[in-house]
Amino acid sequence: MAKKYLFVIVSFIYAVMIFYLSSISSPPNPVPSSLFLFLHRKMVELGVEFLGIPFYFVYRYPDKFAHMMLYMGFGLVLNPAIRSTVGRQPELLSIIIGAIYGASDEYHQSFVPYRSASTSDLMADVAGLVLSQILLIAVGRLRVAK
């Protein structure tokens, strides 16, 4: 019974971490964006510019990338929490619940000094949630194929 709710607890802790990060007026950037520009330039030099496009995106929009990665992680813990409790449509419910939480988080940020609510941040959150579910579906299909 306790194992059934392990991912629910992990999801709750993850949501609290997101709330905490949203409460900081100037959250830290874990990786300097100059690294991504360097990686983009190296890909261009090597003649594989198309591989460098994601690095350029991260360089230009580090906050959107951070939102996407943070909510990708949230989707990865929400899915098993929903799967172990509700049991049906965990991918869809993970996206819906995560998006609702993301919208509430953006609203919360509107009250934090030097922060603001942003539709583009919410879209990055949803993109991360969708990517996490695609990843989980792909991994699940790879396991079945073996």
pTM of the model: 0.84
- Single out the residue of 5, 19, 6, 44 nearest to residue 109, CA to CA: 19
Tokens, residue 58? 């991260």
pLDDT of 108 strictly over 90: yes
Q: What percent of the chain has pLDDT over 90?
A: 58
Q: What is the pLDDT of residue 110?
A: 92
The answer to whether 125 touches 75, Cβ cutoff 8 Å, is no
Tell me the pLDDT tens digit for each residue of 25-46.
Answer: 887 766 677 777 788 888 888 8
Tell me which DSSP letter residue 3 carries. G
Q: What is the pLDDT of residue 38?
A: 83
Q: How many Å apart are CA 47 and CA 55, to the nearest integer?
A: 15
Q: Which residues, 6 or more positions from 39, have their beta carbon under 8 angstroms from its beta carbon?
A: 52, 55
